[in-house]
A and B are shown apart, each in its own frame.
Chain A
Amino acid sequence: MTYSYYKNMQLNNIIFVYQGEVTADLVSSILQMMENKLDGDGEDKKIKKKVFNVMVECLQNVYHHLDTLEVVNPDDDVNDRTALLMIGKEENDYYVITGNHILNNRVSNVRERLEKVNGCNKDELKTLYQSILNEGSLSEKGTAGLGMIDIARKSGQKLGYDFHPVNEKYSFFSLEAKVSRI
């Protein structure tokens, strides 16, 4: 059993995986651990910075997302504070994958924002970032609506995403961001 987990992670180039409740302290610990790992691996400074930035935004995105969810009925088979955080290192890319439940009525809004970001080239992302930075105000959670744009800019690649229907109330939202190692 353990060996198959190990082989599976190795096969999928997974450095780190976490499934459970996401707290601010947990996010800090993961970031520190991954920073040590990147330093230890002697990764190029530029790449290291990009990976670290993308990790910060992805993990904090989940952290803030989860806070906005309602408390789930104990009868539901879904725990709303549970998320999946995964970091991998392939030959050409680092990748950060997050997965968390979101309310079905938020799916179309999140999907539209992702489609918009993925539809932008480098210059359009810059313009979009500037206009939201300049005009937008912070939400109650202190989020700026800039996270996905920033991830896309630092990543330099299209964001991967999926909304998997769970039940009539929730979907499981996954987001994948890559940072090229080359």
Chain B
Amino acid sequence: MRNLIIEPTPKTPKVILNADINVFEISGRSIPEDSVGFYRKILDWVDEYSKGPNPKTNFKFQLEYFNTSSSKCLLDLFRKLEKLSKSGHEVSITWCYDADDEDMEETGEDYKALLELPFDLVSV
């Protein structure tokens, strides 16, 4: 399937969704006014990917900032990965946060509490 690569902007993150090399990463800042518009492409890509996923899928998130409107979109994305996981595929999420960013750590904990799939919090 086609890869989804989005270059970062001051308000949107860098996105690398490459099934060929098994790399799935979203990093940087996610503070767009229209988060729904931005995340639609990503959610659509995951829907397509879910039709024929790799044996193992690890999604890595390393966000510096994100707004509350992105937080809802991220949960939608996590729910899709959770669904893929529940359908018998090996799927995990790695949530990286800056070692002294308590807020980002706490947000990771918020998500982890809401989801039923392997969700690792990693201090970097």
Contacts and interface: CB of A to CB of B under 8 A. Distances in A.
Interface in A147-164: 147, 149-150, 153-154
A129 B109 CA distance: 12
Contact of B103 (A24, A53, A130, A146): A53
A172 interface: no
Contact of A46 (B10, B72, B101, B113): B101
Contact of B113 (A50, A57, A64, A130): A130
B13 to A, nearest CB: 14
B103 A45 contact: no
Interface residues of A, number: 33
A133 B75 contact: yes
A90 to B, nearest CB: 22
Contacts of B72: 133, 136-138, 144, 146
A47 to B, nearest CB: 11
Given A134-B114, A142-B34, A57 B101 contact: no
Contact of A32 (B10, B69, B103): B10
Given A63-B33, A154-B103, A49 B71 contact: no
Interface residues of B, number: 25
Nearest to A122: B106
A142 B69 contact: yes
Given A60-B33, A126-B106, A130-B114, A144 B11 contact: no
The 10 closest A-B pairs by CB, nearest first: A146-B68, A144-B72, A142-B36, A150-B68, A24-B33, A144-B68, A142-B69, A147-B68, A56-B31, A134-B114
Interface of A: 24, 27-28, 31-32, 45-46, 49-50, 52-53, 56-57, 60, 63-64, 126, 129-130, 133-134, 136-138, 142-144, 146-147, 149-150, 153-154
30 contacts: A24-B33, A27-B33, A28-B11, A32-B10, A45-B100, A46-B100, A46-B101, A53-B65, A56-B67, A63-B33, A126-B110, A130-B110, A130-B114, A133-B71, A133-B110, A133-B114, A138-B69, A138-B72, A138-B73, A142-B34, A142-B35, A143-B69, A144-B72, A146-B68, A146-B71, A146-B72, A147-B68, A149-B68, A150-B71, A154-B103
